[in-house]
Amino acid sequence: GAVVSQHPSWVICKSGTSVKIECRSLDFQATTMFWYRQFPKQSLMLMATSNEGSKATYEQGVEKDKFLINHASLTLSTLTVTSAHPEDSSFYICSASPLGRGIYEQYFGPGTRLTVT
């Protein structure tokens, strides 16, 4: 149990276009989902926290108009990179926290590699 999927696993897009990444909890409901960005050989950097039905909370320095997050249901959150540029190329990882108090784990998706040309 506790599987999180991401789609696509790998995407190439042209500079100036937008790309959407989906994060789904397959066998549990998640009130909260997290989006991370990871550069090679570096740690995970939290970009934003999304809660179902409400606006995402962005970390300082993360452009909310560039990285649009929608948490439409208890099993789906999406990250849209708008007007992508080569510097947005990175590995994006989502995680989800199961619904209910006392559950302290986050379950991670397999990540999405974004390359902007």
Partner 1 sequence: AQTVTQSQPEMSVQEAETVTLSCTYDTSESDYYLFWYKQPPSRQMILVIRQEAYKQQNATENRFSVNFQKAAKSFSLKISDSQLGDAAMYFCAYRSAGEGSGSRLTFGEGTQLTVNP
Contact residues for partner 1, defined by CB under 8 A: 30-32, 34, 38, 41-44, 46, 49, 51, 91, 93, 95, 97-101, 103-106, 108, 110-111
Comparing CB distances to partner 1, the nearer of 19 and 93 is: 93
Instruction: State in angstroms the smallest separation of the CB of 43 from partner 1.
Output: 5
Chain centroid offset of residue 61 CA: 16
Comparing CB distances to partner 1, the nearer of 54 and 87 is: 54
Instruction: State in angstroms the smallest separation of the CB of 83 from partner 1.
Output: 26
Comparing CB distances to partner 1, the nearer of 26 and 103 is: 103
Q: Evaluate whether 30 touches 96 at the Cβ level (below 8 Å).
A: yes
The angle formed by the CA atoms of residues 86, 21 and 73, to the nearest 5 degrees, is: 150
